[in-house]
Amino acid sequence: MKFSIQLYTLRDMVEAPADFLALFPKIKALGFDGVELGAGCSSLDAAVLRRALDDAGLAATGAHMNLDGLRRKNLRKTIGYCKRLGLSMVGIGGADHRTPRRAAKSCNLLKAASDAAASQGITVYYHNHESEFKPYKDGSLPIDRFKAACALQVDTYWSFCAGVDNDKFITENQDRICSLHIKDGAGKDTRALGEGSCDLAAVVRGAKAIGLEWLVLENDTPKPDGLSDAARSMAWLKANV
């Protein structure tokens, strides 16, 4: 299993999207083999971004973008951007699901984008937070609607916070899961791996059970900065995966 990092974790290290390029060699030096691009990278020229990744010896393992990028009028441009980067997966970090009706609207858009992108060899995925596991009044779960619409990227800390057995959920939904975010924390305070209360062993078991190629590190609130926080998490990954 190889390790990637969601660049949102390092946002405190940059003032402009182009600053991410200078971080790539440092990310590689920590032991990562890939990065998951964040929405802030979408303004960077794909050729420049790919060259910087290649020079650093990193793969682009996925990308988060705004929902607008998956709308029909923008989807061709998004798919072209992914192909120029060598990306096989692109997703969003959340969508409106406050009511079943709102969730249906979001999922219809995702399903249309997923079907169209699949014909071009691109997987569209949805990244959850805690709320997708909270049932509606009728007992149905938002996460079930999203996994029917597209692939899932399971943020295993927020699923843990929702009371989900990650090992069980990952193995039971392996045909819908394209990626995992591994994250730790205590309450709403996310932390470097091994410094919180998440059952990380369950995440690793699930990832290994489904033969996951990439495990993606993310920390919403790194301390004291993104790189040093990521270094502590990498030490945990090397010792436990």
Q: What does the pLDDT look like over 197-236, one tens digit per residue?
A: 999 999 999 999 999 999 999 999 999 999 999 999 999 9
Domain count, the chain: 1
CA 41-37-100 angle, to 5 degrees, is 100
H or E segment at 114? helix 100-118
| H helix or E strand, kind and range, residue 124 | strand 123-127
Q: Report CA Rg, the chain.
A: 17
Task: Select from 229, 240, 227 the least CA-distant residue to 28.
Answer: 227
The predicted-structure confidence for 95-119, as pLDDT tens digits, reads as follows 999 999 999 999 999 999 999 999 9
Residue 180: per-residue pLDDT: 98
pLDDT of res. 40: 76
SS3 110: helix
Query: Could you give the CA distance from residue 46 to residue 116 in angstroms, rounded to a whole number?
Result: 21
CA 152 to chain centre: 9
Lowest pLDDT segment from 29-38, 43-52, 101-110, 112-121: 43-52
Residue range of the domain that includes 64:
2-240
Residue 152, H or E segment: strand 151-155
The mean of the pLDDT values for the chain is 96
**Which band of pLDDT confidence, cut at 50, 70 and 90, is reported for residue 17?**
confident
User: What is the dihedral angle through the alpha carbons of 81, 8, 156, 185, rounded to the nearest 10 degrees?
Assistant: 180
167 compared with 18, residue with greater pLDDT: 167
| 71 — pLDDT class (breaks 50, 70, 90) | very high
Closest CA to 105 of 142, 133, 78: 142
- Domain of 69, CATH number, reads 3.20.20.150
| Closest C-alpha to 184, from 239, 128, 232 | 232
In the chain, % of residues over pLDDT 90: 94
Structure confidence by residue, pLDDT tens digits, 113-172: 999 999 999 999 999 999 999 999 999 999 999 999 999 999 999 999 999 999 999 999
- Name the band, by pLDDT with cuts 50, 70 and 90, for residue 18: confident
Q: CA-CA distance, 113 to 22, in Å (whole number)?
A: 32
